[in-house]
Structure 1
Amino acid sequence: MAATDRAARALDRRLDPLRAWPSAKPPHGWIRAVRDALGMSTRQYAARLGVSQPQVVAYEKGEAEETIALANLRRAAEALDCELVYALVPRRPLAEILRQRAEDITDARLARMGHTMRLENQEVTGPDLRRQRDLMIDDLLRGKLRRLWDDAR
């Protein structure tokens, strides 16, 4: 097993619990939802955060519009005695994303080669083509994964 494959599988295991986490944030954002749940006014929160009341409103608006800086969101969370949880969670397992990319590249290459081979009446079909496709995919996945993301195939 390649080191990158092990790394992808290890990261997938760490991300599994997050995949089930609901990604929908409250309509006005987490800052306001937690502040409201704690019964804290914007004035009181501003004092805890060490900013002006209009700055609190700007933070809440920025979070709701997804324009707040991550550092400011972390400070806002800390002032609410909250932990900011930040992660990029792939929609599918990383190994599946890598395999799909390798398949797409291989299929594009085989299509180009197939056209040339048909012109020369040397087309490979059926089980031989499937075997060749599997070998090419495996070769891509065993190699440097960075090659998978080059636009030039």
Structure 2
Amino acid sequence: MSPGQAILARKSLDRRLAALRGEAVAVPPRGWLKGVREALGLSTRQLAKRMGAAYSRITAMEKAEPAGAITIKSMREAAEAMGCTFVYAIVPTNSLDDIVQQQAARKAEAVLARLHHTMRLENQAMDGADLVTERQRIIAELLAGSTRRLWDDE
């Protein structure tokens, strides 16, 4: 994917996720499966029959979900058997652009710290204005290409 395509994809995904950002989702105390099943008035045996599964599988799933030990596939199958849709998402706490900008700033700070240290040793230290300008230049350079290199440890 080209850098331009990546920016467009990031902006598109950000727009779709914006509605979810900041939403507090209160998970039922005993998990979604058990909570929805009970709210619908379905017994464990009835759900097992609808899923074509053994009763013991349903009880195992309902125990596994609150612990985070259930598969996405199992959640989807159970949701469909209850006439529901399973929704799965990774929702960034900030916009994706903000996260990329912050990472570029961190990476620029690391590069600048090494550069500034070397220049000080050679008695060529940069002043405050030069540091700000160089920081902005490094950030712009990092953002101009592929953002994959932003996440490399150096």
**How would you bin the TM-score normalised by the shorter chain?**
over 0.9
- Counterpart selection for 1:99 from 87, 98, 101: 101
2:22–2:93 contact (8 Å) kept in structure 1: no
- Kept in 1: contact 2:108–2:135 (CA 8 A): yes
One-letter code aligned to 2:56: P
| 8 Å CA contact 1:49, 1:75 repeated in 2 | yes
Instruction: From 124, 129, 139, give the equivalent of 1:137.
Output: 139
Aligned pairs for 1:72-111 within 5 A? 72-111=74-113
* TM-score (structure 1 length as normaliser): 0.93
- For the 8 Å contact 1:2–1:142, the answer to whether it is kept is no
Read off the aligned partner of 1:77 and give its amino acid letter.
Answer: A
Query: Normalising by structure 2, what TM-score?
Result: 0.92
> Counterpart in 1 of 2:23?
21
Corresponding residue of 1:150: 152
Could you tell me how far apart the structure 1 residues matched to 2:22 and 2:50 are?
Answer: 33
C-alpha distance in 2 between matches for 1:74 and 1:31: 10
Q: Which amino acid aligns with 1:117?
A: M
Task: Give deviations 1:49-93, integer Å, cap 9, x for gaps.
Answer: 211211110111111111111111110000110001111111111
> Which has the higher relative contact order, 1 or 2, with Cα contacts under 8 A spaced 6 or more apart?
2
Runs of 4+ in 1 over 3 A off after TM superposition: none
What value does the CA root-mean-square deviation take over the aligned residues?
1.4
2:35 corresponds to: 33
* CA distance, structure 1, for counterparts of residue 12 and residue 127 of structure 2: 37
Question: Does the CA-based 8 Å contact 2:48-2:57 persist in structure 1?
Answer: yes
Q: Hey, what's the Cα distance between the residues in 1 that align with 2:74 and 2:106?
A: 40
Q: Which amino acid aligns with 1:147?
A: R
Residue-pair matches, total: 152
